[in-house]
């Protein structure tokens, strides 16, 4: 009898079918890995399991011990013995380890917290996990690795029988990873079933009993770890053809537009953690350089550093058209001819409260409008061209950007940077969360810009997009460059292998 | 100043009309209630009853009767004398509110302006009366003090990342302490007549009309320019007629204003200063790169930074600007009173913030207009003035003002949700 069974789960979002009939089984004491590209549906599946998407918002059945369960929220799932440890830690840094473990369920008498019982029980949990952590330590004083282990203790305090770990090792050092796996193996012997999501295939193979591959919201296959190879898994993860939506355009390259040498960037929070480690590359005019890599591989940090916007410690040498340039701030970068269509348009790209016109002219206000006094009429004329060429669909340039669709918002951000007349354009996840039609239009625009002689650096988590648009692909893995491929060499398998650190 | 902020133009315009409507209703009510034949209430609840019950009847009476009802002619509120007082009373708060508005738009706050007003006023009075430094130097010293402190607080906020709330809360205490120390706890009288004129003099009638002529010419010139720019940029034929029609309301406003002020003593100098400050503020927020950057920083600081804006420098500048305007407000304040006192300007920061908020500014940043802030200051001053005329007790006045502040923002939030 399986501990957990998920049958034909279908989950739809407006315009997207994120899960398209996924089935998944977990036995007690089993270590079951879930792998797939970004956007394959892993996280969505886990959110269905944990009650984040309550019963009724998805189709299909969740069975625990052969009994169909309906979770109306996270609490229900927790009570059923499901615990999830997310990528981002959910601990309260200001509280102690013990307080965190029993957050919301502190042992109490008449509403008064029984502190000695709390710390006693927390201490016992930690000892069971062979962790040498004082439960009275504030969580903020612990390293990320130990915090991760506290999360596990917290999950176990709820008597979890099913433990979901979403990329738990992303921030851990190697010795911390070892500790984690020792604990997980121990839990296995206690009969806890574990679902393990990771991009690191080494780890997946090291510990898994079974491996399930998801792609485009479907189960591609479930295998015993001993019966499949890494190459087999990678092929299953990417196994699809790059569709026709990428018009094959031959770009003509000019001289070198941008050269970056020895770029290194450190984490803002953890002073000595390198997020980008000694990367050098160059881009020519008219070339589209794709940067592939999984989340957390340092792609955005690299672009931010070149752009003079990375707040952490960093070093690099940048030259544009053969001349060395000193870029200390985004305004230096803009002056030097770099445009940066940032990721997450709502956080970094747009002022949602303001109009298309206000947003589009923001990065080039002094040239498009006036050096000191603004001129609305000049601005209205300036934004006409990007609005038309990008086909921004809005009643007027004075429409507030918060009311636009994702695709149109993305076009506004792109338009903002085109108005700065860049020689080099960075695009960070330019099509995330937008519909296929708008994607297509942005692809066409990218090719058009390359043809006009812009050097383009394209970061994307969607492999087909990188492969379909780029003339050359660099692959990053944990801040290091693990591969460089020409358009012809770049096959999905090779790029994915490099991105997962398996060259 | 008929130009509204471009973001959400239609909504902002509607909002301005609603506010003007509310202000008009309050004005007419105060006029009605201050006429001798209306029973005299000291209790504000009775006024609220009267406002909703007796007053609409009185207004509708206006239209059904052939002769003017006595409350129109006998009320005290809408008389040139009182309106002149009202405008003078609002000037200090409104000057502060214009600067505060810009700080709020950038996503910050300044709680220290009341104390800083006291300190700058103290510096002016002290250099004038104790050190006899002469008028220009004393005025300059007061303003320089305020600007330097503004820069200092702005630098702590922008470059050391201390939240402006904390920095200026510290300032609220520290600058109040400084003025107490400077004046030794005493009130320092000012005898310099020229200085006192800043707060007490009026513009002679003929200069008032000259001012009106300049303002009218300016309004028409701007209309002409707008129309012409449409043609110059190839957007069609110049809409001279439409722009002319749009200018009529502001022109009537200007003439009516000067006429009413001249009917009493002429335009008071503090009101003249306020007009200048308000025009400057409206110009900065609507028509300069600096103003646009403030809205961008307050709207989404990270997006602004990544668009090449130097957030820190602009925040520093806006605090410096508020410092300068606080200096100006301090001059008006001390000149009106004719003395500097250790508790001058106490709670003024809250009046200024309330004016901005009533005028539609969002404390999160990115939203608000100078026009709204001035209107907010006028509403606050109206409540003070009207309730004083009605002999509403002091404690009740505070309760009413507090309630109206919360109610104004509450109604605004409800309105925003529905749209």
Q: CB contact, 8 Å: B302 with chain A?
A: yes
Whether A256-337+422-499 and A4-238 are alike in CATH topology: the answer is yes
Greatest extent of chain B over all pairs of C-alpha atoms, in Å: 68
Looking at the predicted structure, is the pLDDT value of residue A144 above 80?
no
d(CA A428, CA B335): 58
Which chain A residues in 255-314 lie under 8 Å from chain B, judged by CB atoms? 307, 309
d(CA A461, CA A291): 9
- Please write the tens of the pLDDT for every residue from B366-397: 999 999 999 999 999 999 999 999 888 888 88
Q: CB contact, 8 Å: A409 with chain B?
A: no
Please identify which residue in the block is written with the tokens 């998407």. Answer: A53
Chain B residues in contact with A340 (beta carbon < 8 A):
306
* pLDDT, position A349: 94
- Tokens representing A293 are 């890599």
d(CA A258, CA A321): 6
Q: CB contact, 8 Å: B300 with chain A?
A: yes
The DSSP letter of residue B104 is H
Answer whether A374 sits within 8 Å of B8, measured CB to CB. Answer: no
Q: Which residue has the higher pLDDT, A295 or A470?
A: A470
Nearest to A332 by CA among A244, A254, A420: A420
Q: What percent of chain A has pLDDT over 90?
A: 52
How far separated are the first and last CA of chain A, in Å rounded? Answer: 39
Looking at the predicted structure, is the pLDDT value of residue A242 above 60?
no
Looking at the predicted structure, is the pLDDT value of residue B224 above 70?
yes
Q: CB contact, 8 Å: A239 with chain B?
A: no
Instruction: Judge whether A472 and A484 are in contact, CB under 8 Å.
Output: yes
d(CA B308, CA B294): 13
* pLDDT, position B394: 86
Answer whether A353 sits within 8 Å of B366, measured CB to CB. Answer: yes
Answer whether A374 sits within 8 Å of B9, measured CB to CB. Answer: no
Angstrom CA distances, B113 to A112, A436, B152, B279, stand at 45, 53, 13, 21
Nearest to B174 by CA among B153, B189, B154: B153
Instruction: Judge whether B201 and B269 are in contact, CB under 8 Å.
Output: yes
Alpha carbon dihedral B378, B381, B387, B388, in 10-degree steps, equals: -140
Chain B residues in contact with A338 (beta carbon < 8 A):
none
Q: CB contact, 8 Å: B254 with chain A?
A: no
Which of A268, A310, A350, A365 to mutate: most B Cβ within 10 Å? A365
Residue B286, min C-alpha distance to chain A (Å): 8
Tell me which fold the domain A4-238 belongs to: Rossmann fold (3.40.50)
Chain A residues in contact with B289 (beta carbon < 8 A):
365-366, 369-374
Which of A338, A353, A364 to mutate: most B Cβ within 10 Å? A353
Which chain B residues in 270-289 lie under 8 Å from chain A, judged by CB atoms? 287-289
- Please write the tens of the pLDDT for every residue from B177-208: 999 999 998 999 999 999 999 999 999 999 99
Looking at the predicted structure, is the pLDDT value of residue B4 above 50?
no
* pLDDT, position B10: 67
Provide the mean pLDDT of chain B.
90
* pLDDT, position A245: 61
Q: CB contact, 8 Å: A378 with chain B?
A: yes
* pLDDT, position B8: 52
Chain B residues in contact with A342 (beta carbon < 8 A):
303, 306
* pLDDT, position A445: 93
The DSSP letter of residue B127 is I
pLDDT band at B416 (very low <50, low <70, confident <90, very high): low
Query: How many CB atoms within 10 Å of residue B76?
Result: 16
Chain B residues in contact with A366 (beta carbon < 8 A):
289
* pLDDT, position A90: 78
How far separated are the first and last CA of chain B, in Å rounded? Answer: 26
Q: How many residues in chain A?
A: 503
* pLDDT, position A87: 66
Cβ-nearest to A363 among B290, B300, B308: B308
Architecture of domain A256-337+422-499: 3-Layer(aba) Sandwich (3.40)
Answer whether A365 sits within 8 Å of B306, measured CB to CB. Answer: no
Q: Which of A171-180, A288-297, B167-176, B267-276 has the lowest mean pLDDT?
A: A171-180
Answer whether B302 sits within 8 Å of A348, measured CB to CB. Answer: yes
Chain B residues in contact with A369 (beta carbon < 8 A):
289
Nearest to B368 by CA among B40, B66, B108, B81: B108
Could you tell me if residue B295 is left (phi over 0), alpha (psi between -120 and 50 degrees) or otherwise beta? alpha
d(CA A309, CA A339): 12
Rg for chain B, CA atoms, rounded:
22
* pLDDT, position B5: 35
- Please write the tens of the pLDDT for every residue from A298-312: 999 999 999 999 999
Query: How many CB atoms within 10 Å of residue A497?
Result: 22
- Parallel, antiparallel or unpaired: strands A455-459 and A424-428: parallel
pLDDT band at A238 (very low <50, low <70, confident <90, very high): confident
Query: Number of CB pairs < 8 Å for A and B?
Result: 99
Q: What are the residues whose beta carbons fall under 8 Å from the beta carbon of B180, sequence distance 6 or more?
A: B342
Answer whether B307 sits within 8 Å of A416, measured CB to CB. Answer: yes
* Domain locations along chain B: 9-201+268-418
- Tokens representing A47 are 């959110």
Q: Which residue has the higher pLDDT, B278 or A141?
A: B278
d(CA B68, CA B89): 30
Q: Is the C-alpha dihedral spanning A209, A215, A217, A222 positive or negative?
A: negative
pLDDT band at A15 (very low <50, low <70, confident <90, very high): low
* pLDDT, position B2: 33
Buried b or exposed e, range B393-405, using 16+ CB within 10 angstroms = eeeebeebbeebb
Instruction: Judge whether B142 and B120 are in contact, CB under 8 Å.
Output: yes
* Domain locations along chain A: 4-238, 256-337+422-499, 353-416
Looking at the predicted structure, is the pLDDT value of residue A442 above 70?
yes
Which alpha helices (DSSP H) does A194-238 contain, by range? 201-207, 230-238
Domain covering B9-201+268-418 assigned CATH 1.10.3470 in the classification: yes
A94-108, A441-455, B3-17 — which one is most confidently predicted on average?
A441-455
d(CA A27, CA A77): 17
pLDDT band at B333 (very low <50, low <70, confident <90, very high): very high
* pLDDT, position A440: 82
Angstrom CA distances, B234 to A124, A367, A420, B166, B404, stand at 79, 20, 23, 51, 48
d(CA B361, CA A65): 57
- Tokens representing A76 are 């229900």
Q: Which residue of A has its CA nearest to B309?
A: A331
Q: What is the mean pLDDT of residues A201-228?
A: 88
d(CA B73, CA B89): 24
Q: What are the residues whose beta carbons fall under 8 Å from the beta carbon of A345, sequence distance 6 or more?
A: A406, A409, A410, A413
Answer whether B289 sits within 8 Å of A372, measured CB to CB. Answer: yes
Provide the mean pLDDT of chain A.
89
* pLDDT, position A240: 54
Q: What percent of chain B has pLDDT over 90?
A: 68
Angstrom CA distances, A58 to A25, A43, A212, B351, stand at 18, 14, 21, 53
Q: What is the mean pLDDT of residues A15-27?
A: 87
Cα A482 to chain centroid, rounded: 19
* pLDDT, position B3: 33
The DSSP letter of residue B79 is S
Cβ-nearest to A334 among B8, B292, B308: B308
* pLDDT, position A248: 65
Q: CB contact, 8 Å: A347 with chain B?
A: yes
Nearest to B100 by CA among B304, B363, B389, B305: B363
* pLDDT, position A91: 86
**CB-side exposure of B154: number of CA atoms within 13 Å?**
25
Q: CB contact, 8 Å: B184 with chain A?
A: no
Which alpha helices (DSSP H) does A328-474 contain, by range? 330-336, 356-361, 365-368, 376-389, 406-418, 436-451, 463-469
Buried b or exposed e, range A129-163, using 16+ CB within 10 angstroms = bebebebeeebeebebbbbbbbbbbbbbbbebbbb
Buried b or exposed e, range A295-315, using 16+ CB within 10 angstroms = ebbbbbbbbbbbbbbbebebe
Q: CB contact, 8 Å: B210 with chain A?
A: no
Instruction: Judge whether A199 and A167 are in contact, CB under 8 Å.
Output: yes
**CB-side exposure of B237: number of CA atoms within 13 Å?**
3
Q: CB contact, 8 Å: A352 with chain B?
A: yes
Q: Which residue has the higher pLDDT, A178 or B200?
A: B200
Q: Is the C-alpha dihedral spanning A441, A443, A448, A449 positive or negative?
A: positive
Nearest to A34 by CA among A228, A219, A196, A224: A196
Please identify which residue in the block is written with the tokens 């204003």. Answer: B257
Q: Which of A243-247, A255-259, B354-358 has the lowest mean pLDDT?
A: A243-247
Nearest to A38 by CA among A481, A416, A406, A460: A460
Q: CB contact, 8 Å: A421 with chain B?
A: no
pLDDT band at B7 (very low <50, low <70, confident <90, very high): very low
Residue B141, min C-alpha distance to chain A (Å): 29
Residue A366, min C-alpha distance to chain B (Å): 7
């Amino acid at each position: 009898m399986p501990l957990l069974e998920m049958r034909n789960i279908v989950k739809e979002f407006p315009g997207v079918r994120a899960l398209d009939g996924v089935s998944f089984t977990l036995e007690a004491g089993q270590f079951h890995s879930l792998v797939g590209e970004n956007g394959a549906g892993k996280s969505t599946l886990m959110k269905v399991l944990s009650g984040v998407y309550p019963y009724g918002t998805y189709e299909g059945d969740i069975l625990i011990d052969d009994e169909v369960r309906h979770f109306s929220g996270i609490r229900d799932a927790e009570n059923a013995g499901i615990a999830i440890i997310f990528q981002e830690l959910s601990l309260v840094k200001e509280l102690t380890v013990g307080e965190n473990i029993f957050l919301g369920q502190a042992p109490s008498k008449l509403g008064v917290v029984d502190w000695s019982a709390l710390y006693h029980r927390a201490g016992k949990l930690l000892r069971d996990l062979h962790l040498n952590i004082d439960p009275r330590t504030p969580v903020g004083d612990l390293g990320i690795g130990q915090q991760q282990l506290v999360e596990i203790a917290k999950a176990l305090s709820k008597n979890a029988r099913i433990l979901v770990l979403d990329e738990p090792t992303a921030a851990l050092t190697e010795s911390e990873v070892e500790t984690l796996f020792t604990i997980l193996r121990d839990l296995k012997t206690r009969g806890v079933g574990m679902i393990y999501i990771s991009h690191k295939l080494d780890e997946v193979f090291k510990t898994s009993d079974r491996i399930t591959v998801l792609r485009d919201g479907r189960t591609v296959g479930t295998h015993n770890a001993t019966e499949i190879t890494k190459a087999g898994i990678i092929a299953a993860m990417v196994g699809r053809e790059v569709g026709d939506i990428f018009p094959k355009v031959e770009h003509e390259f000019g001289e070198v537009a941008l050269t970056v040498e020895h770029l290194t960037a450190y984490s803002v929070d953890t002073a000595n953690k390198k997020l980008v480690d000694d990367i050098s590359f160059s881009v020519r005019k008219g070339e589209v350089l794709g940067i592939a890599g999984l989340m957390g591989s340092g792609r955005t940090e690299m672009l931010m550093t070149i752009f003079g916007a990375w707040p952490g410690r960093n070093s690099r040498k940048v030259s544009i058209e053969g001349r060395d340039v000193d870029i200390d701030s985004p305004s230096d970068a803009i002056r030097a001819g770099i445009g940066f269509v940032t990721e997450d348009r709502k956080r970094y790209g747009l002022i949602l409260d303001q109009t298309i016109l206000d947003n589009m002219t923001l990065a080039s206000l002094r040239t498009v409008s006036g050096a000191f006094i603004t001129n609305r009429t000049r601005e209205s004329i300036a934004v006409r061209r990007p609005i038309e060429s990008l086909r921004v669909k809005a009643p007027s340039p004075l429409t507030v950007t918060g009311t636009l669709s994702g695709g149109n918002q993305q076009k506004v951000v792109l338009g903002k940077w085109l108005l700065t007349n860049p020689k080099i354009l960075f695009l960070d996840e330019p099509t995330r969360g937008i519909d296929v039609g708008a994607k297509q239009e942005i692809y066409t625009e990218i090719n058009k810009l390359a043809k006009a002689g812009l050097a383009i650096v394209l970061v994307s988590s969607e492999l087909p997009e990188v492969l379909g648009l780029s003339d050359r692909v660099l692959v990053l893995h944990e801040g290091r460059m693990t591969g460089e491929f020409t358009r012809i060499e770049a096959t999905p398998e090779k790029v994915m292998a490099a991105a997962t650190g398996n060259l | 100043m008929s130009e509204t902020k471009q973001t959400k133009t239609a909504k902002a315009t509607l909002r301005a009309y609603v506010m003007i409507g509310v202000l008009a209703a309050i004005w007419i009510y105060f006029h009605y209630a201050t006429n001798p034949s209306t029973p005299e209430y000291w209790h504000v609840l009775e006024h609220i009853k009267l406002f909703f019950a007796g007053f609409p009847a009185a207004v509708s009476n206006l239209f059904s009767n052939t002769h003017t009802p006595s409350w129109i002619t006998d009320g005290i509120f809408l008389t040139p004398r009182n309106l002149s007082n009202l405008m003078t009373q609002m000037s200090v708060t409104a000057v502060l509110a214009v600067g505060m508005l810009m700080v709020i738009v950038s996503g910050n706050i300044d709680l220290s302006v009341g104390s800083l007003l006291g300190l700058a006023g103290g510096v002016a009075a002290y250099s004038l009366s104790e050190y006899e430094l002469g008028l220009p130097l004393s005025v300059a010293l007061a303003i320089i003090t305020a600007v330097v402190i503004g820069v200092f607080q702005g630098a702590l906020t922008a470059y050391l990342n201390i939240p402006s709330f904390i920095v200026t809360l510290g300032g609220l205490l520290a600058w109040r302490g400084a003025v107490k120390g400077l004046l030794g706890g005493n009130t320092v009288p000012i005898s310099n007549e020229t200085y006192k004129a800043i707060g007490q003099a009026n513009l002679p009638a003929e200069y008032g009309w000259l001012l009106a002529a300049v303002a009218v010419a300016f309004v028409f010139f701007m209309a002409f320019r707008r129309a012409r720019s449409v043609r110059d940029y190839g957007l069609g034929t110049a809409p001279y007629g439409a722009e002319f029609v749009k200018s009529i309301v502001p022109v009537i406003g200007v003439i009516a204003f000067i006429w009413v002020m001249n009917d009493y003593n002429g335009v008071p100098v503090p009101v003249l200063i306020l007009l200048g400050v308000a025009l400057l503020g409206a110009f900065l927020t609507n028509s300069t790169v600096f103003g646009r950057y403030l809205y961008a920083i307050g709207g989404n600081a990270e997006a602004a930074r990544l668009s090449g804006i130097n957030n820190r420098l602009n925040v520093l500048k806006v605090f410096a600007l508020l410092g300068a305007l606080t200096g100006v407000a301090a001059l008006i304040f001390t000149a009106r009173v004719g003395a500097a006192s250790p508790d001058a300007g106490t709670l003024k920061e809250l009046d200024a913030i309330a004016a901005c908020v009533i005028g539609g500014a969002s404390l999160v940043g990115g939203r608000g207009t100078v026009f709204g802030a001035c209107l907010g200051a006028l509403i606050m001053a109206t409540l003070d003035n009207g309730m004083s005329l009605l002999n509403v007790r002091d404690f009740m006045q505070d309760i009413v003002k507090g309630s109206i502040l919360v109610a104004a923002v509450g109604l605004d939030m409800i309105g925003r949700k529905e749209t």
